Amino acid sequence: MRRASAPLLLLIGVALMGLAPLASRLVPQALIWTEADGVRYQQASADFHAAGIAARQLQTSARGLASSGEPVDPVAVKRDYDRAQEAFAAQQARKERAERWPPRIVLLVRLLGIGAAAAGVWLHVRRWPG
């Protein structure tokens, strides 16, 4: 068995390195980014956009009135904008983390392949009388 372990490790290592680009497709995407995450991201984006529009309207309004003619509380508009911005930033960070996962999976499988191939070579070389 020991004689077969070096070539087997080398073969496994080369196979892992070759198949590494396919590894990210084997992981279910639902583990990385779910449909609910997408809905939360879209909602945070829409809320941030609406708060931004309200803040811009307040800035352009000379009298502090909404387009409907009702008075607008600038402190409430600023607070809503800040909350929407924080919620969107949190969802954006979550989305960016999810986007970084597939390359990390490929890198991990590639490193495992390199390690297995190196171990196979080391076992093979170690067997040679010196």
Q: What is the pLDDT along the chain (130 residues), one digit of tens a residue?
A: 456 788 898 899 999 999 888 887 887 777 788 899 999 999 999 999 999 988 887 777 655 555 555 666 778 888 999 999 999 999 999 999 888 888 888 999 999 999 999 998 888 888 776 5
Structural domain that includes position 71 = 2-127
Cα dihedral across residues 110, 116, 121, 122: positive or negative: positive
- Based on the structure, what is the number of domains in the chain? 1
pLDDT of residue 100: 86
pLDDT for residue 80? 92
Amino acid at 80: D
Q: Please give the pLDDT value at position 65.
A: 52
Give the pLDDT score at 29: 78
The pLDDT, as a whole number, for residue 40 is: 95
pTM recorded for the entire structure: 0.65
Q: DSSP string spanning 55-97?
A: HHHHHH-SSSB-TTS-B--HHHHHHHHHHHHHHHHHHHHHHHH
CB-facing half-sphere around the CA of 78: CA atoms within 13 A: 5
